[in-house]
Chains A and B, each alone.
Chain A
């Protein structure tokens, strides 16, 4: 199964909260280099917990083995940034790199410069407080932040939450573009099964334990979805 191209191997992963509540149970999977792995599941199914375990932020049982020397970026689930917080977009980006040209280039790439208007970007957006941006703009800044130092792996927790439908498509196309330009493995949590179909090489259906695992076109059948979401799911299968 696992070969030299495997970037992540997870064996019998389990996470328990302090009240002995089992949030994740007996998960085993692996991720190949340059794969896009999507994780789907209902609210409270442990998706974000899985990410936090993968990032080593919480205690867990079982094994999580990342390949050596990887640079891993993580974009946590949408979090609130106080509009009162005195931190400019420019300063936030500078936490990652001092290279001005690169910052501008990446922010343009994530679509923050309308019509590629660099003047608008530099004189308005960069000088604004991070918390003054719209939800979609913040998400784009976070994506820019995560890709600016050329990571090998990115973990995205609901990358398009808070972004309107049109913007959503743009973000995924952007991720796809970034992936084509550099060697990049993506693990993402998504609620949108159409997106999973379109962009993911493999999918894990999670509801505290693994409900399905494999290629989206093979494992995301009505039976698995019924088991995952517990009922009818308005969903149609894409034919490619």
Chain B
């Protein structure tokens, strides 16, 4: 149990990690250097190497602290609204560290094994979260399709505007597009009133 003073100010390790996260996000893994992370955090290289073995260890620690979306509902067959709210809360969780989310995309494309694995886990989390809401035949395929829509929206926004991506993916249009996709994927009988208006 630390004193109040200790818990209020970040530890050296936390300060190093915060700078590493910012610099990796800004310059990418390859361009970032331990020296530049030191300059940014105002901590000597020697002190950084005391906490981390090198650039790779820093990156792994940053990856370790990625935001984790909330879990899905306990009860099966939640409503369309609950499904939408869950997906948005997952997207909001990633958006709390937008630079890291963008970095993980680019490092994944660069073929970094650990990052790819983390991204696979993120997609599987979305599938596990939405599948209980999609009852009936073909629900596994529907859940996978919805997970691809969500990952595609985030990817599309990252590729357009980088770390500012939540402006697009979680903007008014973005949220409307998630709701549309849910309407398309849910079985016809679960659709709201607009379906009868179109017919």
The answer to whether A and B come from one shared complex is no
